[in-house]
Structures are given as C-alpha cells and as structure tokens.
Chain A
Amino acid sequence: MDLSSSQHGAYHLITVNAARIDAAAAIAFKEALRSATSGGTGDVLLDLGQVAFIDSSGLGAIVSAIKMVGPDRRVELACLTPDVEKVFRLTRMNTIFRLHSDLSNTALGQTG
C-alpha cells in the first residue's frame, strides 16, 4: 500500500495513495501505517482524499493506528470522500476521530 509521509511542524501528515482500503488491502495498509507512524512525531493527520471506498477491515486498520501511535499522539482524519464518511458516521467512529473536511482546516493548514 502506497502511503506518503511528511512532517509539518508538530503534525505528521500521512497521505493514502490508494482508492480502496478493503479486505484485500487492509493488512498491507496496516503494515505501511505502522512503518509510517514509527518514522514521525506529533499528532498524525491521515489524508484519505484519494480513498473512495472503505470496508470494516479498513476501518479496523485505521482504528489500530490509535494504538500504534500510543496515548501521547492523536490521530485525525482529513478529506473523507462520501462513502468513507458514511462508514465512519454509521459506526459512530466520527466521535472517536476528529474529521477535517480539508487540509486547510487543520493545524497543518494554519501553519502552512
């Protein structure tokens, strides 16, 4: 699974360069996420703008990111497409993750 990772001040931006986080991709996604988060510091901002579809295994992999980064770093999500946002709202995961409609609304946007 192709992830781009960059440090922006206190924020660690991770961009998912894939159209689907489904059962076929969940294990590779989780491994890539583990590798990306271990190489950064600060709160994680996961950019899901290219992800058109997610299933419950993909959702579980994103939940696992909270555990990967530990209690001192938050995981926030940005740019959810309609089907992805639907899964987060239906499972009430929108109450666990802070969701940003675009990157300009995040601390990343404010710091440039």
Chain B
Amino acid sequence: MTIAPAQSAKVFELVASPAGIRVGLIEIRMHLRETGLSDCRCGTTEIVLAEALNNIAEHAYEDCGVGDIAVAITLDDVGILIEFTDRGAPLPGLSPPAGNPPVLDAPSGDLPEGGYGWFLIRKLTTKLAYTRQNGQNFLRLRVNLRGAQHAPGRTFGAWSR
C-alpha cells in the first residue's frame, strides 16, 4: 500500500538542504498567496512548513545536504493539509516529539537556543499524524485557519480529515 496525497494537492519537490528549503518555502508561499490566503495565514503556514522541513533535513537526512522532500499542500474550507514525504531516517521511537514549551524562567545566560521547532509545529497545527512505510516517512499536518488558530495541537493515531 502506498500513501498518496489528496488528489487536489499541489506537490512541491524540495532539496533537503537549508538553501533548498528556503527556495521551496518561497515557492510555496507564492502558491498560497495566489490562492487568496491572507498574509497572516500564509505566515502561520510558512512557520509550520519551515520547522517541519528543517527537522527533516537536520534529523531524517542528518544535515547531509542531500535528499528529497515532497510537500503536498491541499487547501479546503477548514484550513490546509500538509503532507511531507522523505526517505531519511525514521523519527526516534516512530513518534513525533511532544514539543514541550521552552523553559524561559532560566537565568538569561541559560536560555535555550533550540528546541522551539516542534513546539511551534504543535502550537500551530490541529492534527498531526506520522507513519513509516517502505523506508519512507509520511508526516501529515493540518493547519487550521478557521476560528482559534492557535489551539494546542493534538496527535491522532489514525488520520481522519
């Protein structure tokens, strides 16, 4: 069985390097803007995309600067479904990180300089599902653009639209 993106999806092929991700994000944002999405919603979506893509490049492909990431974007009347496919290493424990809030009550010299990525993804998405199949990672996220945009993210065992 293969997991195919939704039929109405627009698919982007990205190179899993910082420069490749930048090019891809600019291209995807242009697409989102052309669909009539507001700047605010384009911004929210780009933050989620950037953090998920950086994680794939840094961890699944171990920062090697090569590797392919497919990003399928589907807009519907509720929000945006984003489906990422890559051939890198699986997520540890086959489970997306919890994305705990950063600890900011430390002395300023000890403030964390990382660990914000999954927190932002969880904060801006309403559904998140990860599967590993045939040597590929499939990550599906839903950015809800209607109503409470910053509702806490939840993990669903099985994906439902």
CB pair B22–A20 under 8 Å, yes or no, is yes
CB pair B21–A24 under 8 Å, yes or no, is yes
- Categorize the interface residue count of chain A: 20 to 34
Judged by DSSP, the binding face of B is helix
CB pair B104–A96 under 8 Å, yes or no, is yes
CB pair A87–B104 under 8 Å, yes or no, is no
Which candidate, A4-12, A31-39, A42-50, A51-59, is the interface stretch facing chain B?
Answer: A51-59
Q: A59 to B47, alpha carbons, bound, how many Å? A: 12
Residues of A contacting B57 with CB < 8 Å? Answer: 23
Q: Footprint of B on A, CB under 8 Å?
A: 20, 22-24, 53, 55-57, 59-61, 63-64, 66-67, 71, 82-83, 86-87, 90-93, 95-96
Q: Footprint of A on B, CB under 8 Å?
A: 18-19, 21-22, 25, 39-40, 43-44, 46-47, 50-51, 54, 57-58, 101-102, 104, 108-109, 111-114, 116-117, 119-120, 123-124, 150
